[in-house]
Amino acid sequence: MKRLFWVAALTGTGHLANLISLKFISNYSSQSVIAFIGELDSLALLIVSITAFGLQLSSTREIAIRDNDWQKVYYSAQSARLTMGILLMILGLSGFLYTKNYMFFIAPIIALNADYALYGRGKPISGAIVAFIRITIPSITVILSSVYFIELLPLLFSISILLAYFTAGFIVSKILNVNYLVKPKFKSLLEYVKNIKIGLANLAYFFVGIGILNILSYINSEETVSIAYMALKLYMIFIGVRRIIVQSFFKEIKELKESLKVDYLSMVAGTMFLSLFLFYPKTTISLLFDDSYTEYSLTFVILGVAGFISSITSSSGARLLLQNKDKQFSANFIVAAIVTICSGVCFSFFIADTPSLVVLACLLGEITISILNISSLNEKNFLMDRFKIIYPVILMALVFYAIKLGFNENIWNFMGSMSLFCLFSIIYSVRVLAVKKEI
């Protein structure tokens, strides 16, 4: 819990800066600028997914297992990532004049960041510090640019991503006492082939979220893209919280009791995430974004449902990898990506051009992942075990509704409800985690 506290504190502070940046950009920027930033951000994250393509997960696993020669795994992975980054940079030349592919020019710098190795070496706090730096630099840039340099916001945002990944990668190399720069080798690309199953899954999951905008931005309006980007950017923060919980216990998660603990902590976060939008939509949205976003409350409620559903199986993907079920892991995420993309395109063409349907497509993808991962793990009473420990927390969440019903929706009742829920959850969590430790 001490480890998780420091990791959560660092990550939470970084994500708080991210949330503040969303507030500023929604207040000071037009929907066209937000849509543009959304496309740039999703492209940068696409580069992250491509360069990670299976190597990040498999390398983390190998670095965690090996004690003496983990540096060999590190250098091999970094060489492959840098080579892929250079290829993506060259690809950027193919269309930067009429698309936003110029983001691909920073692909080598993105590829050289290796914070995954910190988690593999059992240094989650150091990993959280690096993540804090990587998140905070673009967030502060967006905040300052929104107020003082709004016309330069897209350019400054792109530069801040470059600076953030360079700083993060350099710090990782110092912490692990390894070289930041590595030699690119075309032969190293075979590492991607070796990990193609995990890589396809990693890339596929990108589209069950903000990555869907890389496709839907061509067929949806700027208004839909801008609102969907803000919602899915918030969802990324929630996914980041879940990921930190899983990574903090990565080496122990193969044990059933540890995976149950991880999923419980994720479900507590998921319950709060859903409750805020379900019971206090106007207050929550106004705090996070401009007041005009309250008319899209349905979009954020759907987002909350996606957050809770996905939290139930937070540890499932990592456990499939640790059980060497790479084939099932890959197939599950690919199917989920197909469901998300196809439903998103069909919604746009045949139903309506609205952000709520974009987020609904992502929800369907998360449901697909949860169902398939549960099936692949094939564990008896998977859902029942989690329901038994989380239902009291769900009942505690009714405090949001009770206070709203009795005193109406306002910022003070919102803060009171959240404080009580956190207090009840902490008291209950201490007891639950203590019991699980004795199992």
The predicted structure's pLDDT at residue 345: 94
Reported confidence tier of residue 340, pLDDT bands at 50, 70, 90? very high
Residue 407's contacts (CB-CB under 8 Å, 6 or more residues apart) are 413
What's the whole-number mean pLDDT along residues 69-96?
Answer: 83
> Which of the pair, 303 or 46, is modelled with greater confidence?
303
Please tell me the distance from the alpha carbon of residue 94 to that of residue 283, in angstroms, as a whole number: 45
Please tell me the distance from the alpha carbon of residue 102 to that of residue 83, in angstroms, as a whole number: 18
Mean pLDDT is highest, among 128-137, 160-169, 245-254, for 160-169
The predicted structure's pLDDT at residue 16: 79
Mean pLDDT is highest, among 4-13, 187-196, 205-214, 363-372, for 363-372
The predicted structure's pLDDT at residue 170: 92
Residue 343's contacts (CB-CB under 8 Å, 6 or more residues apart) are 360, 361, 364, 365
The reply to whether the predicted model has a pTM over 0.75 is yes
Mean pLDDT is highest, among 39-48, 102-111, 256-265, 367-376, for 367-376
- Structure-block tokens of residue 417: 């409800």
Please state, rounded to an integer, the average pLDDT across all residues of the chain.
84
The predicted structure's pLDDT at residue 438: 43
What's the whole-number mean pLDDT along residues 359-386?
Answer: 91
Say if residue 138's pLDDT is above 60. Answer: yes
Of all residues in the chain, what percent carry a pLDDT higher than 70?
93
Reported confidence tier of residue 251, pLDDT bands at 50, 70, 90? low
The predicted structure's pLDDT at residue 6: 67
What's the whole-number mean pLDDT along residues 101-114?
Answer: 85
pLDDT in tens, 294-303: 889 999 999 9
The predicted structure's pLDDT at residue 8: 66
Of all residues in the chain, what percent carry a pLDDT higher than 90?
20
